[in-house]
A = this chain, B = another copy of it.
Amino acid sequence: MFKSLESERAGQTRDLTDVLDAIPFDQQGLIPAIAQDIDSGTVLMLAWMDRVAVERTLREGRVCYFSRSRNQHWQKGETSGHIQDLVELRLDCDGDAILVKVRQRGPACHTNRESCFYLLADQDQIRVTTDPV
């Protein structure tokens, strides 16, 4: 499926169900999903989805992940209120990574930072780049 799409021109389509069937989920049935803020372009976080989470995200228009530590689905913001409203869901060329572009309500990170990626390599150190809100 994904190989056949490589040479297709813009505008060509495939049935969504067929494409989801072709996703090479890992041994735990998961695929990494990157969340990006649609307005600022900031990469907010990386989490994991299973097939159900992908379908639920598309159906409900709010991003749903699968928590590996809690072994359950997890609609982002269900407890914190920091919901991610889905704007776009994309797959990559090999179908083994997802990019969701979102409208993020509140901070994406559980530390109350805008983004989870606040640890910057700087020479022989790692530096915290933002304060918790």
Q: How large is the interface on A (under 10, 10 to 19, 20 to 34, 35 or more residues)?
A: 35 or more
Complex: A100 Cα to B95 Cα, angstroms: 21
25 contacts between A and B (CB under 8 A): A2-B119, A5-B119, A10-B128, A10-B129, A11-B127, A12-B127, A13-B127, A14-B126, A15-B125, A16-B126, A19-B126, A32-B32, A34-B43, A36-B43, A43-B43, A45-B97, A46-B96, A88-B120, A90-B117, A90-B118, A90-B129, A92-B118, A93-B111, A93-B118, A99-B117
Complex: A109 Cα to B5 Cα, angstroms: 13
Contact with B along A36-47 (1 / 0, CB 8 A): 100001110110
Q: Which residues of B contact A127 (CB under 8 A)?
A: 11-13
Our pick among B9, B88, B91, B121 for the contact of A90 (Cβ within 8 Å) is B121
B43 and A99 contact, CB distance less than 8 A: yes
A105 within 8 A of B: no
Q: Which residues of B contact A118 (CB under 8 A)?
A: 90, 92-93
Q: Which residues of B contact A99 (CB under 8 A)?
A: 43, 117
- List 17 extra interface pairs beyond A32-B46, A91-B119, CB under 8 A: A11-B128, A13-B125, A14-B126, A15-B124, A15-B126, A16-B121, A16-B126, A34-B34, A34-B46, A45-B92, A46-B97, A58-B121, A90-B121, A92-B117, A92-B119, A93-B111, A95-B119
